[in-house]
Amino acid sequence: MSADQSGAEEGAERSAREAAIAHFAARQSGRPVPVPADAKTQAALAEVEALWARLEHAADSEEIAAMRAAALARSAPGTHQGQGQRRPWLAAAAALGALAVGVGTVLAVRSGSAPTATPGAPQLAMRPLENGTAGPRTVALADGSQITLDAHTRVLLGEDATRRSAVLAQGRAFFRVAHDGARPFRVTAGTMAVTDIGTVFDVGRDGDTATVTLLEGAVDVSAPGLAPRRLAPGQRLTLRGNVARLGRADPAGTPAWQDGMIAADAEPLASLVARFNRYLARPLVLKDARAGAVPVSGAFRVDDPQALVDAVAAMGHPGALTRGNAQP
């Protein structure tokens, strides 16, 4: 390989690395971002996510937690002024770097590093699963488990002889875990960790909020500052920052998102449209802002948005909701 070719390849890798960190920083600050399209950026993003998840588990001390919080605060929009202003990816790099110093690790974008719950245990090689603007997609794993990914969802998967691990980087995923008493299945979403042997549950992540809903079996949920607890079927635990709230899941029989359905019970039309548009390349558009407050009830397929348009018209608001142009 010539020097020019080598330099071009290093430049492409550096650009992918910077794009991945910028993507990660935007998502950490709560902004919805599309899944990167090119393979190099996807690979770099997987490594950044894996390192971050590993550091989250390692950051048990108050000092490391404070360093992480300060670094994340610097990555939030509107917090940089004057000479301190930096691009989002630099702020994220500072956050990663601060944690790396604190736990004695370094960022190596080609390392293939992965989360590990046991100090000194071999690191798992993680592979990404992702879904963009599309209906829910189900993936069958080699152990017999199944994962259904909602739109705009990214999951990292890894396993070895003693562990099965998944990191929900963004979005929402439905897990149907095959029983294996020797290899618990652990799902990490932000600071929340969900561990089970074989059961059915739903995990969502939106910024610093993580939610787990148990449908069958039992799961153990843990997080820094949260006493470990075991959920029973029908329970939902929501962790926002370091505040946990336990509640009930949706009533039995409600059409589930993993079946390609959106259910509404007197939900404002504007909210329902926003949920629908997660799945649509050609979004729904509210032409009449006043109609956004109209309550809508019913069940709609995500691949049939015209049914919602027709329902709104039948409710006495013809033309209030239309189909927009395809997104680039």
Asked if 206 and 271 sit in the same domain, the reply is no
- What residues form DSSP beta bridges with 48? none
Q: Which two tokens stand for residue 152?
A: 């705009």
**Total domains, the chain:** 3
CA distances from 96 to 24, 52, 99, 126, 189 (A): 11, 7, 5, 19, 17
Residue 134, domain member (yes or no): yes
Residue 254, domain member (yes or no): no
Residue 328, domain member (yes or no): no
Give the pLDDT band of residue 259 (cuts 50, 70, 90): confident
Residue 215, domain member (yes or no): yes
Q: Read off φ and ψ for residue 220, nearest 5 degrees.
A: -100, 130
Q: What is the mean pLDDT of residues 63-86?
A: 48
Q: What is the reported pLDDT for 328?
A: 54
Residue 211 · residue 237 · CB < 8 Å:
yes
Distance CA 18, CA 93 (A): 9
Burial (CB count within 10 angstroms: exposed 0-12, middle 13-18, buried 19+), residue 207: middle
Residue 253, domain member (yes or no): no
Domain enclosing residue 78, as ranges:
3-103
Does residue 178 register a pLDDT over 50? yes
Give the pLDDT band of residue 50 (cuts 50, 70, 90): low
Does residue 267 register a pLDDT over 70? yes
- What residues form DSSP beta bridges with 193? 188, 222
* Strand pairing class (164-176; 146-149): antiparallel
Q: What is the reported pLDDT for 45?
A: 75
Q: What is the reported pLDDT for 102?
A: 38
Q: What is the reported pLDDT for 136?
A: 92
Residue 282 · residue 303 · CB < 8 Å:
no
* Strand pairing class (185-189; 164-176): parallel
Asked if 264 and 308 sit in the same domain, the reply is yes
Asked if 170 and 265 sit in the same domain, the reply is no
Does residue 139 register a pLDDT over 50? yes
Asked if 180 and 274 sit in the same domain, the reply is no
pLDDT per residue as tens digits for the range 30-46:
555 666 767 777 777 77
Domain boundary, last residue among 206, 228, 248: 248
Q: Read off φ and ψ for residue 229, nearest 5 degrees.
A: -140, 150
Asked if 181 and 223 sit in the same domain, the reply is yes
Of 222, 215, 220, residue with least CA distance to 239: 222
Q: Greater confidence, 71 or 25? A: 25
Asked if 131 and 244 sit in the same domain, the reply is yes
Does residue 106 register a pLDDT over 90? no
Distance CA 291, CA 32 (A): 25
Does residue 167 register a pLDDT over 80? yes
Asked if 16 and 42 sit in the same domain, the reply is yes
Helix, strand, coil percentages in the chain from 3-state DSSP, rounded to 5:
30, 30, 35
* Spacing of C-alpha 105 from chain mean position: 24
Q: What is the reported pLDDT for 7?
A: 64
The DSSP letter of residue 38 is: S
